[in-house]
Structure 1
Amino acid sequence: MKVEIWSDIMCPFCYIGKRKFENALQQFAGRETVEVQWRSFELDPNMQTVPGQSIHELLAARKGVSVEQGKQMNDHMAVIAAEVGLHYDFDRMIPTNTFLAHRFLHLAAAHGLQDAAEERVFAAYFVEGKNVGDLNTLAQLGAELGLDAMEVTRLLETEAYAQQVRLDEYEAQQVGARGVPFFVFNNKYAVSGAQPSELFLEVLQKVQSEEQPVVVAGAEGAACDVDGAC
C-alpha cells in the first residue's frame, strides 16, 4: 500500500497530522506493507523572511487581528499539538520561505532518509526555533541524519531538487489538494487535514481489504497445487 502525504514545514496541522497518522499506523496490522512518501507543498511560495518578525505578528497581519489575538490563536494551536505529544514553541519560531527546506527533504529522500528528515525539520521549526530556511541550519540537520554537511551545502547552493519540489506541487493540483496535510491512499482515497487516528486506521483497513483477492464461494474448480498434483 502506498500513502502519499503532501505537507508544508510551516503548517502546524501537518506535524500534528503526521503524529495522528503514525498513531494509526502503529495500530494497523499490515503496517510493514505501507510505503509512505512525503510530497512538497508550499502554502505561501512568496513568503519572505522578515528579520525580527515573530510568528504571532505574521499571523496577526494575515488574519487582520491584533498581535495579542494572533498569540492567542497560536496558544490554542499549541494545546492541540500537545494532545498528540508535540510541544510547539511559537515564541521561538522563525517564519521563513520553505522552498529550500523542501529541496533538502528531497535530497534526504535520495539517501533513504525522507521520513527521518521530515520529522527532524518539523521538530527544528516547531519545537527548537531553528530557521529552516537557512542553508547552514539545513546542513547541520543533514549532518545529524548522517548526511555529509558539505554535500548538503554544495547541492542546495545549486538548483538541485527544485524540479522535484515543483513536480510535487503540480501533482497536488492534479489530485485536488488545496490545503495540507493531504493524504492519498493507493492513488484512490484522499483524506484532507489532520484527521483523528481512528479515521486514518479505518482508511488503512479499507484499502488493505480491497487489496486482498476476492474468493468466490462454491465448489472447488479443477486446478493444480504447489506440489505439482493436478
Structure 2
Amino acid sequence: MNTNKMQVEIWSDVMCPFCYIGKRHFEAALEKFADNQQVEITWKSFQLDPTLPEKEELDHEQYLVERKGLPKEQVASMLDHVTQSAKLAGLDYHFEKVITVNSFNAHRVIQMAKTKGLGDAAEERFFKAYFTEGLDIADGATLTRLGKEIGLTEAEVHDALTNEAYTGKVNRDIYEAQQIGVRGVPFFVFNRKYAVSGAQPTEAFTQTLDKAFAEWRTEHPAPLLEITEGPSCTPDGNCS
C-alpha cells in the first residue's frame, strides 16, 4: 500500500455481474478525475455463495431458481435486465455459457496477482472469463492459463492454489468486509471514510472521488518547494 496515494478498496466477487459493471462505471469516473495518479486501488475478496461446489452442477438460471429459490420467470427477466445493463457499460454477458462454480480458487489467484501489482488485471481477466467466455474459474488448469495471460508464472498460480497463505488472505478480506458492514458487492471504500455500494452511475463515483480526495489532500498536502533554476534535461530530451 502506497501511503502517498489515496486508497480506494473494492470488495468484489468475480461471479457478481454488477461488480464487473461497477468496475466499468468507476473506471469511467477515475479516467476523468484530474488527480487519478494520486489514487491507489486495492481489490478485496468477497464470496456471494461460499457453499457452491468446485464442479458445475447447475447452469446459472437453474442455480438461481433452485439454490436461491427465485421464480423462473423472475430469473429470466432479471438476467435479461443485467445483460442490458452490462451492454450499456460496454460489456458482453452470456449467462447461457456461465459455469456456476465456487469462486474461492479464483480469489486465491487474485491475491497472488496483487502481490505482483496485477490485481486489477486479474479481476478484469476473470470477469471476462466468467461472464463472456463461459470458462470454469474453479479449474486449476484454466486458472493457470488465465494467470499466465496476465503475467503470472505457472509456479505462481500453483503456489496461490496450494499455499495456505493465500487462503488466509482471502479469508481476511471476507472477515474485514463483515466488520465494516459490507452486505453486498461491489462495495467501494474511499480513504476509509466514504463508501459507494453497488454499481452506481459514474456520477456517483465522481462525486465521492472529489469529496474523498479533497479531504485526503488536506491531510496530505503536496510539498511546495522553493526551486533555484539551473541547466537541466527534461524527459522529452530537451537539455538547456
Structure 2 equivalent of residue 83 of structure 1: 88
Deviations 1:108-132 (A, max 9, x none): 1111111001100010001100000
Ranges in structure 1 where 5+ consecutive residues have no aligned partner: 215-224
**Alignment correspondent of 2:135:** 130
What is the total number of aligned residue pairs between the two structures? 218
* Distance change >3 Å, CA 72–CA 227, structure 1 → 2: closer
2:172: which partner in 1? Answer: 167
Q: TM-score, normalised by structure 1?
A: 0.88
Is 1:146 the counterpart of 2:146 in the alignment? no
Partner secondary structure for residue 184 of structure 1:
strand
Which of the residues 57, 76, 97 maps onto 1:71?
A: 76
Q: Secondary structure at the match of 2:156?
A: helix
Question: Is structure 2 residue 4 aligned with structure 1 residue 3?
Answer: no
Pick from 23, 32, 35 the counterpart of residue 28 of structure 2: 23
Task: Give percent identity, aligned residues only.
Answer: 51
177, 181, 184: which one aligns with 2:182: 177
Shift of 1:211: 2.6
What do the CA deviations read for 1:154-189 (whole angstroms, capped 9, x no partner)? 441342401101110111112111111111100111
Superposed displacement of residue 63, structure 1: 4.2
- Take 2:17 and 2:149, find their aligned partners in 1: how far apart are those partners? 23
Task: Call closer, same or farther: CA 1:186–1:154 in 2, change over 3 Å.
Answer: closer
User: Helix, strand or coil for the counterpart of 1:161?
Assistant: helix
Counterparts of 1:93-108 in structure 2 under 5 Å?
A: 93-108=98-113
TM-score (norm 2): 0.85
Distance 2:227 2:118 in 1: 42
**Structure 2: where are the runs of 5+ without partners?**
1-5, 220-224, 229-240
Number of the residue aligned with 2:222: none
